[in-house]
Structure 1
Amino acid sequence: MGRKKVIKIVSIVLVLVLLIGGGYRYYRSKTTMATQNPIDFTEVKVTKGSIKKSVSDSSVVESEKRQQLKFHKAGTIEKVYVEEGQQVNKGDIILILESGSENTNLELSKKNLEIEEKNLKDLQSDLNKIKIYAENDGIITLNDVKEGQRVQENGIVGTITDKDNMEVIAPFNLKAVENIQVGQKASVLLTDTFETIEGYVKKVSESSVALEGGGFAYSVTIEINNKGGLSPGMPTQVTVHTDSRDYQASENVAVSEKEGEDIRAQISGKIQALYVEDGDHVEKGELIALIDDTDLIDEIENQKIKVEQKQLDINDKIENLEDVAITSPITGRIISLDVANGDNVDMNDPVCVVADTEDLKVVLSIDELDVFKITKGQEAIITTEVFPELEYKGSVEKIAMEGKSENGVSTFDVTIALSDVENLKLGMSVDVEVIIAEKENVLILPVEAVRKRGKQSVVITSIGNTMEETMKNMKENSKTIEIGLSTANYVEIVSGLSEGDTVYYSKAISKNQSNNMRMPGMGMGISRPSRNSGRRN
């Protein structure tokens, strides 16, 4: 019995030792976990800003209309009518092969067409000349004209005299004139009353005049305002003020009225309407008279017929030269020219490339995962390293119905029509961003700050000093929110948070959540949160 009792006591002691050892190890494990694998939390404020979702790709600038022309028969080039970079219209002759005298007749017809087109342009410009305007302020004196009366081109309709201002034409020596300029200030002393009137230099004569006392001088015209006390013939002494010094006129001179300025008709025709009467005060730009345009319109219509006839004549000649003439199939610019006068050519040899350099496009290859986000009419922003400071605008014009597969990946062509093409050239490399959705002045958070809990979106609004406290706060203080537009970096907050609210997030937790991993166990250590300004990338 004594031996059994000893064995029993020893067994109890061993069990106690194992329990104590296991408990110690469990305690050590929990204590160690409190200092291992600390999780960094980032503190971020809900801010207002812009959020943009887009699809991007790189490509080159192309023309909506581009055609390469080739010879349809062999021969020798008689004449090339264009040069590289030249603008051409649809139907314009690019070149002609040698064929005989028909080409000379075509050249003559083209010259005749140019003459008739110029005559038409001149007549059309005359439509802008049927209105006669006052060219300055003043009192108008009509030149015995009335409505229904015919005036000739350059004929005088009336004269406008400026009664509000007068002139003093004073002589100055050569040294003074070399320093006097139009617009400089001048002082005019009335020698009878010793009153000084300020004026300015209106004109400096380039030719000299003889002085009464002998010698020569140059006339300088000074304009002064007539406030009512001036009259022609009043004696004056004139001084012009320059930057370097003042110059006094060589002789005293009298005040005179300003010379009237004639109003002339720019085209011939009957006066349809007069809008002023003799002696009226008119202002610069005021309508004085209107010339009847009936005859002019008839001339224009007749001239249009002449132009059409000349064009028909050329078309007939081109048809006769169809085998030897090459014409442009589109309106555009010659972007490359491969031939010259006298060249011997074979059938299908390249002639030139004609392209519309105003109607430009960019074709993107969009991944099949993104193409369904794109719709016609969406805005596109185009940039190029050639002009990094510029942004060009465009829009989605066409989306391919069929994709192209390469290495197991399908892409679809998306055509962007450019609305702004200044400085862009065909073949230039560009980066294109198609705007899928864009919002301004909305609440945003970094995308890492929002977690998914089932179908709900939640954020952490409070954490603790230990993992136990944090897990408790995450459960009790997690807030369900509604999100809107989301990008790779940011998410729009529709409801549930306000501007300035604080949110905490851990990239480690987000990663664990995204990998469907369970959160770390209770008792793990936690580091203090760092701050995030919320600045968008």
Structure 2
Amino acid sequence: MENEVCSQAEEALSAPARQEEKKKRFGGGKNPFKGGKKKKWLLIALAVVVLAAAVLRGCGGKSAAPQTTYTEEQAAYRAISQVLSGSGTLAPANSYTVTTLLQGEILTAGFEEGDTVEKDTVLYEIDSSDSSTNVEKAELSLNQAQRSYESALESKYLTAKTSGTVSGLQVSVGDQVSAGQTLATIRDSSTLSLKVHFPADDAAGFYVGQGATVTLDGSFETLSGFISAISGSDEVLTGNRIVRQVTIQVANGGALTSTQSATASVNGVGSSDSGTLQYKSESVLTAPSSGEVAAINVSEGGYASKGQTVLTLGGDTIDNQVQSASENVRNAEISLENTQNQMDDYTITSPIAGTIVDKQYKAGDKVESGKTLCTIYDLSYLEMTLNIDELDISLVEVGQKVQITADAVEGRSYEGVITKVSVAGTTTGGTTSYPVTIRIDETDGLLPGMNVDAEIIVAAADNALAIPGGAVERGNKVLITTSSPSAADALADTAPEGYVYVQVETGISDDDYIEILSGLKEGDTVAYIPAQAQYSDIYSMMMGGPMVTTSEAGGPPDGGGPGGGPGGGPQG
């Protein structure tokens, strides 16, 4: 058991070195440790190493004296691109699953998978014979509800059946009335008519509009009028007199009433009998149901046009009837609308323009409600989502170009553009990432569902003075040889023999190199300890052995240096 624990501890100590070696062998890839993440990873690695070293000491491990070598490289001008990268899955610009809310037999389905359709193209027609009957029933129900509502309104708002003057008003506001009670009379007395008989032979020669003279009984006053109607059939009066009825209209100066009798003559021919003058029109308003007079809309002696409200009745019974009738009309309207909408649902159209990628039903099939009929993709462009770390999201903005590659399409890259940077992040393991939407317009060879890699160039310098990223230590210090041109600006910090520290200002960086804005010159030779060598130094210290540092250029041992002694330390 003890041997197994010791073996696992040795493997833990050597793992970082093996990982670094693997990175070199397989091309490295993108450095996932940026900024704060890198520090966290180093602290975790150091903790693992310390724990493993302690275990090894307990296992009787022997100390060794490894030699950590400096790697030297001259500062030189090169192109640097700061790139954010990731992978994702392509999705169509828009997609739609066509379903049905109805059931029935599919009558037509005139399209196939792979077809391109426009928006509102008819895809399916489902048998709607049952629904047509339901629409007719809903229309009948609405008509009945409307008639009931109109009848309820007539019980509340009493209107004039003819135009005329209101007379004989028998109620006041607030009076209680009962069904059938006479409330008022509306009379048009501007003209009166007289119906009398003339000999048939004479009447046959009369015509409508012909002048006539009316003589009032009692006063023998004569009035001028005209024939407004002539009967087309003969009548027989007492004494076998054959006559025809003639209607004569006269103007009312205001004194004539419907109780006045009179005779008439036309072209010297007198009427065979007398008749009673009649008003042009007269109607009586009666209460259709019990209630209370809520308002008098036309007062006594006022003129009311046909259809105008003369009296308004109120009361709980009448008001409830009107309200109930109104609600019944609205319910019937909603029912009809729903039924008509269902008719529209029997014809299913394409909600978007796109390509049919899946067809589940064909003509003749029976379909149930809620079933998926087909799927449509809008392939006018493709989209993907790239999750960007919280440390890098500030570098990303809408409109940036993105380089897209796919394993399924070898030897070709595509250009995308960022269309959306979401502020709704997702936190996992203490790290938050934000989804960024990328649009690809040129999609030849690409299909939805393909896995692709994306690179966003957030900064670039075509001719930057650069050194390896590992050469920049905490506090932006760089170790250079004493023969370097910039050694004249050396800091007072203690450095290994043959080297000095200088202060630098950094710019953009990629996976391997970092831009130097100031502090170094072309030709300066920088020195640094590769990551693998740093792991060996830590191993040596934890095992209790001496730390010996030598330069690849043959420098002597030293107790300091990058990542280890005075003035040094891991890059932060």
Q: TM-score range by the shorter chain?
A: 0.3 to 0.5
State TM-score, norm by structure 1. 0.45
Q: Which has the larger radius of gyration?
A: 2
